[in-house]
Amino acid sequence: MGNSMNNKQIERVPVRVFKSREEGSKYVAREIASLIRSRNASNKKTVLGLATGSSPLEVYRELIRFHKEDGLSFKDVITFNLDEYYPMKPDSDQSYRRFMYEHLFNHIDIARENVNIPDGTLAPDDIDSFCADYDSAIEALGGIDIQILGIGRSGHIGFNEPGSTIATETRLVNLDEVTIEDAAKDFGHKDNVPFRAITMGVKSIIKSKKVFLMAWGEPKADVIRKAVEEGVTDELPASYLQHHEDVLFLLDKGSASKLSRFEYPWLTGICDWNPYMQKKAVIWLARKTKKPVLKLTEEDYKAGGLTSLVRLYGSAYDLNLSIYNQLQRTITGWPGGKPGADDKTRPERSNPFPKRSIVFSPHPDDDVISMGGTFLRLVEQGHEVHVAYQTSGNIAVFDDDAHRFSDFMLGFSKKFGVAEKEIEGLYHQVTGLLKDTRRKGGEHEMVLGIKGLIRQGEAISACRFCGVEESNIHFLNLPFYETGSVKKSPVSQADIDIIKQLLQEVRPHQIYAAGDLHDPHGTHAVCLNAIFEAIEQLKGESWINDCYVWLYRGAWHEWDIEDIEMAVPLSPEELMKKRKAIFKHQSQKDSPVFPGKDKREFWQRAEDRNRATARLYDELGFTEYEAIEAFKRYHF
Ligand code: F6R
């Protein structure tokens, strides 16, 4: 590909990239509202096709606002939802019927008889006729006016999983493995997810007059690139929308990030050669040609469509050197700054030394998993290191562990003759609760309390191992997390105040936080936003403006190399020490309660990731390290 392709030639469906999901959602809500208004004015009905899941949530919020504040009436609106799990009781937490009432219908003036949602309680023999009636009802109304869609990582629209043809109608389907994995977080565990659903077919969706497909956040980036830039295939049902005449894909920066226009803008048109793009392009070329940066030639740049970039520098030699130096300067063994060193080109300032650093850890083990090596270095280099565990992580402990620790308590009190009666009473209470099989997980306060303590003990043990003083360990137990179930409460000022108070007490020079935006509803992203909000509210205080915020990438992803602003190398011994710190989290070892989609243990994932980063630096022509932990600075 040369410079000749533009976005329109590469992208096979109309795409709009919004600054945020809020903006994109407002756009969809406005379109829906204006259609309803014009239909209401001429006494006509509006037929909407609705989706559940996280993608349309803000559209519904905005429609409710239009209803409440602007008097938008839904009396003449008829809705058809895309799908429902099967079997599914309407009042279950995960029921799509319940979802729709909670997030929309209970708050607007729609008539109940105008709401259509596939029925998860049907007897198997009744499903076929129900599905045929569903399609006929849509047909009888003249079809759907506006259909809103999300997209699954499998490429599904509705629950039309890979393999669904363009001729499919409403029917019972099997869910894809990826869909089941993604739904696991709503059901507590993968095994609880129904493996079937009733869904509108591709044909029924494609017949809608107008389609808005929304995708927010990075987890959708891969599937969006395929649906937008690759050909139509039943392996990716969303690609059928390329045949639709009035479809719009609404994306945010995250979901659009893998589109060629952002990944390789130099291939899709005129590129704005800002410093970031220059770095990205050179790294891209080095990886594509499998050459270290300093060995890239004018020929390579030409073949890669990057002649305009070389021209900026005059020669490949000067360009290579500039990017090489930038990358080299990200590497430092002094995450808290090197005392006495010239820090003009170092990621961290030399002064003050030692620094006060706070490591925020969303769960009690993210600190050591994601930045254990850096954490150890900070302590060893004499900084005052504080660790703030944002949530208790209490739902991620097996009952068996709670039982074992209760046994220990009882044994302890008997052996040393301390409070035997009281402890025995408590013991029977807890073990009784643990035996109650009707309980889903450990939602009883007492059981949760014990589980929280188990995780606290593990975190303290890891901190002790790393040399952190006990007075510098802070358990914030943020209230938003304490629901006792997978579903969390929204963050409130109470959460933010707790973080603010700690920041005001410590007045750190450095903050480390988990910058994981991969799952916008996940605990990591919620915890990060709470920190950002706390910082925002503290901006009036002089010390905060002097504080560097370093984001480690939580979970199992690493920053793209062009995003890394500080790379801390680890020796084999340091990596081993980090592994031992992770081992202190015994309740999460072997097979944890929430293993996610990855079969590897947490320490293995961490090591693989840190080794991969080191390998990448090595391949680009830098010193070969055993492992590297990477950070990106948050500039507020
Ligand atoms: C929901 C539906 C699904 C979702 C898709 C994306 O009614 O039909 O296709 O739209 O799984 O889910 P979220 O929006 O939660 O990422």
Nearest CA owner, ligand 1 atom 4 = 150
Task: Give the distance (Å) from ligand 1 centre to CA of residue 52.
Answer: 6
Of 241, 261, 281, the domain-final residue: 261
Catalytic residues: 161
| Same domain, yes or no: 293 and 148 | no
Report how far Cα 402 is from the mean position of its chain's Cα atoms.
29
93 belongs to a structural domain: yes
> So what's the pLDDT on residue 456?
98
Task: Determine the Cα–Cα distance for residues 385 and 359; give it in Å rounded to an integer.
Answer: 7
- The torsion angles phi and psi of 209, rounded to 5 degrees, stand at -70, -35
Who's near 445: CB < 8 A, 6+ residues apart? 484
* Domain, as residue range, for 610: 356-396+452-590+598-634
* Ligand 1 atom at minimum distance from 52 CA: 7
Task: Determine the Cα–Cα distance for residues 540 and 54; give it in Å rounded to an integer.
Answer: 35
| Same domain, yes or no: 294 and 241 | no
| Same domain, yes or no: 510 and 551 | yes
429 belongs to a structural domain: no
Q: Report the number of distinct structural domains present in the chain.
A: 3
| Same domain, yes or no: 151 and 223 | yes
pLDDT band at 5 (very low <50, low <70, confident <90, very high): low
| Same domain, yes or no: 190 and 88 | yes
| Same domain, yes or no: 528 and 614 | yes
Task: Give the distance (Å) from ligand 1 centre to CA of residue 438.
Answer: 30
DSSP 562-629: GG-SEEEEE-HHHHHHHHHHHHT-GGGSSS-S--TT--S-HHHHHHHHHHHHHHHHHHTTS---SEEE
| Same domain, yes or no: 307 and 361 | no
- CATH number of domain containing 607: 3.40.50.10320
344 belongs to a structural domain: no
Strand order in the sheet with 510-514: 473-475, 384-389, 356-361, 510-514, 548-552, 627-634, 566-570
540 belongs to a structural domain: yes
Nearest CA owner, ligand 1 atom 1 = 52
- What are the pLDDT digits (tens) for 22-73? 999 999 999 999 999 999 999 999 999 999 999 999 999 999 999 999 999 9
Nearest CA owner, ligand 1 atom 11 = 152
CB 79 within 8 A of CB 110: yes
The residue with tokens 């007897």 is 123
- What are the pLDDT digits (tens) for 162-205? 999 999 999 999 999 999 988 988 887 788 999 999 999 999 99
Of 283, 312, 328, the domain-final residue: 328
Residues with CB under 6 A from ligand 1: 51-55, 82-83, 150-152, 156-159
Task: Indicate the average pLDDT of the chain.
Answer: 94
| Same domain, yes or no: 211 and 314 | no
Q: What is the mean pLDDT of residues 158-165?
A: 97
- CATH number of domain containing 138: 3.40.50.1360
| Same domain, yes or no: 113 and 174 | yes
- The torsion angles phi and psi of 473, rounded to 5 degrees, stand at -100, 125
Task: Give the distance (Å) from ligand 1 centre to CA of residue 425.
Answer: 48
568 belongs to a structural domain: yes
Please give the helix or strand (H or E) that residue 340 lies within, else none.
Answer: none
405 belongs to a structural domain: no
- What are the pLDDT digits (tens) for 110-139? 999 999 999 999 999 999 999 999 999 999
* Ligand 1 atom at minimum distance from 81 CA: 7
* Beta strands 384-389 and 83-86, pairing class: unpaired
Q: Where are the extended beta strands (E) located within 110-253?
A: 115-116, 146-149, 171-174, 196-199, 210-215, 247-251
Of 203, 226, 261, the domain-final residue: 261
- What are the pLDDT digits (tens) for 340-351? 999 999 999 999
| Same domain, yes or no: 88 and 212 | yes
Question: Does residue 393 carry a pLDDT above 50?
Answer: yes
Nearest CA owner, ligand 1 atom 8 = 158
Q: What is the mean pLDDT of residues 268-276?
A: 89
Nearest C-alpha neighbor of 92 from the set 102, 81, 79, 82:
102
Task: Determine the Cα–Cα distance for residues 363 and 81; give it in Å rounded to an integer.
Answer: 36
Task: Give the distance (Å) from ligand 1 centre to CA of residue 180.
Answer: 12
- What's the DSSP call for residue 176? P
* Ligand 1 atom at minimum distance from 55 CA: 14
| Same domain, yes or no: 166 and 295 | no
| Same domain, yes or no: 241 and 296 | no
Token pair, residue 534, equals 């706390």
- In the three-class reduction of DSSP (H, G, I as helix; E, B as strand; rest coil), residue 205 is classed as helix
- The torsion angles phi and psi of 132, rounded to 5 degrees, stand at -65, -40
Question: Does residue 102 carry a pLDDT above 70?
Answer: yes
Q: What is the mean pLDDT of residues 563-572?
A: 98
